[in-house]
Amino acid sequence: MISEVINTNELHKIDPVFGQLSFDGHEQIVFCNDKDTGLKAIIGIHNTVLGPALGGTRMWQYNNEWEALNDVLRLSRGMSFKSAITGLNLGGGKAVIIGDAKTQKTPELMKRFGEFVHSLSGKYITAEDVGMETSDMDLVREVTPYVTGISEEKGGAGNPSPITAYGVFMGMKAAAKYKFGTDVLEDKSVIVQGIGHVGESLVEHLTNEGAKVIISDINEARLNEVSDKYGATIYRGNDVYSEAVDIYAPCALGATINDATINNIRAKVIAGAANNQLADENKHGQMLKDKGIVYAPDFLINAGGIINVYAELENYGKTEIMRKTENIYNTTLEILSNAEGNDVTTHQAALNIAQGRIDTRKKENMNA
């Protein structure tokens, strides 16, 4: 689930944080270490102009600490824009815990991580991400109030994955409307790359609408399980990007749209849940535009999860969660039209709107 693989051989000569290409004026980077529990974590706080930095905690067996740092920098930056473009009064943050979630995660480790979160006094609010479960957030909640995505039994909004998937589905329908003239996905072929919690929920929505769903994942058992459950076709080819489908939905790794894949992509629409899908935002966004591929910006359409956990902070219920998530459809159409009208990439159009909201609030704060 790593956002981008970096060449660590080129990094030993530069400053560890400020010299990173992914560093984008982040306000604060916190390195957390606890020998007793084995915790090694990094919290990235990108921007708090609109509000406290909210973003999930990801536990992953990174190849090295450079990779973990790069991931948290890119992900926290994306959270700033995700909250801004969705109209939430939140900043952008993210955390990564280095380790195997299946074998190294313990209640003690999660509580110790929660203590580090608490030490930031609410500047960063954590939530569930890859390698985490709602039960883990419940453990963190035992030591700090600065956590969302706790179980419904404990007064939380629960697992955000189904809402994330619904937002991606709405964004996909909007992109289809823009490209094909209809948002009805019946008989449209969609390849879903990555069928974790969000990917499976997306498969369910697509199946219910009558789409021709193809699934791809590195986990063979998971492929068979989801295929049996929804009747999806398992992809058995060698190059998922060159598959002749209508829609490509990346829902696992980031940076899958890169120099090695972009010329092979035959889909007419890209709309998925993965973060940081463009390896190089400017270069690859422009290449998609030149190819006539409609790209639904990831930080816009995968915002359902943060809408879900934001409900815990603002005390609104499921009805309002669904209304805000459904509105991703309208925002996506606006972004796509804006991009065409201003002759910019869809990613840039979304980024401009998000950054504009942050800049406006910053001026207001300075003049207050």
pLDDT in tens, 4-50: 444 444 444 557 788 887 888 999 999 999 999 999 999 999 999 99
Q: What is the pLDDT of residue 102?
A: 94
Q: DSSP letters of 177-196?
A: HHHHS----TT-EEEEE--S
Angle in degrees, CA 152, 108, 150, rounded to 5? 10
Q: What is the pLDDT of residue 16?
A: 72
What pLDDT does residue 273 have? 97
d(CA 109, CA 111): 6
Question: What would the two tokens of residue 137 be?
Answer: 């957030």
Where b means 16+ CB within 10 Å and e means fewer, 279-297 reads bebeebbbbbbeeebbbbb
Instruction: Tell me the whole-structure pTM to 2 decimals.
Output: 0.90
- What region, left, alpha or beta, does residue 359 occupy, with left being phi > 0 and alpha being psi -120 to 50 degrees? alpha
Partner residues linked to 34 by β-bridges: 39
Point out the residues that are catalytic: 94
Scan for tokens 């980031």, then name that residue: 254
Q: What is the pLDDT of residue 14?
A: 56
Q: Is residue 147 helix, strand or coil?
A: strand
Cα–Cα distance, 254 to 283 (Å, whole number): 16
User: Which parts of the chain have pLDDT scores under 70?
Assistant: 1-14
- List pLDDT tens digits, range 195-212: 999 999 999 999 999 999
